[in-house]
């Protein structure tokens, strides 16, 4: 709702960023794109995971991180564990684009070689 309120009365850049936040939230929840009640395609699942990661990171302070399982829970529901491999793969793609950073113990790591738990934070090209 914060993003929807930001659309009214804002300058052009703030309006564009707020609309992108609303889009991410709606895609993550299945309101846009492939319907949430149908079995998603691989591309649809990846799109929802990326949108969920961005939406969750927008909701947190800039220095805070999320776990890939947070996005997997949004997309996968009760079967979220089956989505974890895809969630880590999507996180790697977003990290390669610079949108997010993959971290372990607060240190930036390469997602391809990282073993064990990882955290996701805002990257260098994160939309302001």
pLDDT in tens, 69-126: 999 999 999 999 999 999 999 999 999 999 999 999 999 999 888 899 999 999 999 8
Rounded Cα–Cα distance for residues 30 and 44 (Å): 10
Q: Beta-carbon neighbour count of residue 90 at 10 Å?
A: 26
Lowest mean pLDDT, pick from 27-31, 53-57, 75-79: 27-31
Rounded Cα–Cα distance for residues 43 and 41 (Å): 5
For the structural domain made of 2-122, what CATH number should be given? 1.10.10.10
pTM, two decimal places: 0.84
Report whether 68 contacts 105 (CB < 8 A). no
| Residue the block writes with tokens 């299945």 | 30
Domain ranges of the chain: 2-122
Report whether 24 contacts 48 (CB < 8 A). no
Rounded Cα–Cα distance for residues 19 and 69 (Å): 25
Which of 7, 4, 74 minimizes the C-alpha distance to 36? Answer: 74
């Amino acid at each position: 709702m914060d993003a929807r309120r930001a659309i009214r009365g804002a300058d052009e850049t703030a309006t564009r960023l707020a609309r992108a936040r609303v889009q991410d939230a709606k895609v993550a929840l299945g309101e846009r794109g492939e319907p949430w009640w149908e079995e998603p395609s691989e591309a649809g699942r990846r799109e929802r995971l990326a949108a969920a990661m961005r939406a969750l990171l927008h909701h947190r302070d800039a220095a805070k991180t999320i776990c890939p399982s947070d996005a997997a829970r949004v997309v996968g529901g009760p079967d979220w564990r089956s989505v974890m491999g895809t969630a880590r793969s999507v996180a790697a793609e977003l990290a390669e684009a610079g949108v997010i950073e993959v971290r372990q113990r607060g240190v930036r790591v390469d997602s391809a070689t990282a073993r064990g738990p990882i955290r996701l934070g805002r990257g260098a090209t994160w939309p302001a």
